[in-house]
Structure 1
Amino acid sequence: MRRALFAISGLAASTTALVVLKAAPDTSTVAQQVPAPATSGAGESTTAAEPTAEPAEATATASPRPRTSRSAEPGRKTASPSAGRAGPSSDATKKPPAARPSTAAPQPAVRRVVGPVVSNEFGNVQVAISLDGARIVDAEALELPERTAQSDQRSSQVDDRYSGTAGLVVQRQSADLDTVSGATATSESYQRSLQAAIDRAR
């Protein structure tokens, strides 16, 4: 009976061992299916090395073409960097002097007013005055009697005393003048023309 049990146990153990051995993968077959490493040999080309070679070729073909400077083109002129710059003494860098505001009061215009012609027994008398604002700055006899030598002499006396920038007209600033002795008619005619000119200037 014991022999029969040992025989059955041995048979079962051998069967189990046989099944396990058959189920285990063949190590030699697995070793053959593993691809060889990329560095297996200098003369062998592997599929793993090909992808690394392609980017190198793309990089070589995609390298930028060297640009040529425009100054190297034939027939093209290039401006010198200092050509467009104006020197310190150039007119382009000079600024016109700023206009300074005038602080002086504007000078009033001098106006000239002419009196009417006043006649007397010796001739005609006409006076003109120059005014700076409301002030008389000059008096001038435009016409005086000159018919005779005597009337010419009297007219010269009246003109010398009344007219000019230093005459009585400028000094008095009016037609209230002293009568020249011996030339009453001419003096009065002068004063009348002068008063009319002053009235026109107002």
Structure 2
Amino acid sequence: MRRIVLWLLSTLAAVVLLFSYRTGLGAAMPASTTPAAGAGDGGGTAYKGSVAATRWGDVQVVITVAAGKITAVSVPVYPDNNNRDVQINKRALPILVRETIAAQNARIDTVSGATVTSDGYIESLQAALDAAHLS
């Protein structure tokens, strides 16, 4: 009987420690922060994409265009309702921004683990590109 009680208490302690463990991926990123900016942020015209409603929250992309090229991308609206959303988007949005600037269009890959946000990003990005008369 004593062994059973010790086993039960040690198992319970292990479960509590496991669920209280934090991964330490960094501080949360406030919603108003631009996750990343492109090269050449010094001028151009900004075009807002439509707000894309996704399963986890809205996504909106703003592009800056100068001389017919995307010079900067910001994401002022993205899912940040909980720590998991913040962790996912802290990793995914800079990747999407870099790919957008490199591709100069909306034909970019989704980010694994952030498919829903990626799809909303691409939808809003395409609307911004349409507003800027870029393909």
- TM-score bucket of the superposed structures, by smaller chain: 0.5 to 0.7
Alignment pair present for 1:190 and 2:121: yes
Alignment pair present for 1:111 and 2:42: no
User: How far does residue 148 in structure 1 lie from its aligned partner after superposition?
Assistant: 1.4
Aligned twin of 1:171 = 102
* Matched residue type, 2:73: A
Q: Secondary structure at the match of 2:113?
A: coil
| Structure of higher RCO (CA pairs closer than 8 Å, 6+ residues apart) | 2
Counting only pairs closer than 5 Å after superposition, residues 62-77 of structure 1 correspond to structure 2 as none
Give the paired residue count: 91
Aligned twin of 1:80 = none
Higher strand share: 2
Q: Deviations over 1:13-69 (max 9, x none)?
A: xxxxxxxxxxxxxxxxxxxxxxxxxxxxxxxxxxxxxxxxxxxxxxxxxxxxxxxxx
Alignment pair present for 1:124 and 2:73: no
* Matched residue type, 1:169: T
User: How far does residue 201 in structure 1 lie from its aligned partner after superposition?
Assistant: 0.4
Counting only pairs closer than 5 Å after superposition, residues 73-88 of structure 1 correspond to structure 2 as none
Query: If the length of structure 1 is used for normalisation, what is the TM-score?
Result: 0.44
Q: Secondary structure at the match of 1:141?
A: strand
Query: If the length of structure 2 is used for normalisation, what is the TM-score?
Result: 0.65
Aligned twin of 2:86 = 152
The structure having more radius of gyration, on CA atoms, is 1
**Counterpart Cα distance in 1 of 2:79 and 2:58:** 6
Identity of aligned residues (%): 32
* Matched residue type, 2:76: L
Contact 2:96/2:111, CA 8 A, preserved across alignment: no
Q: Secondary structure at the match of 2:80?
A: coil
Please identify runs of 4+ aligned residues in structure 1 that moved more than 2 A.
none
Which runs of 5 or more structure 2 residues have no equivalent in the other structure?
1-42
**Counterpart Cα distance in 2 of 1:130 and 1:161:** 17
Contact 1:139/1:162, CA 8 A, preserved across alignment: no
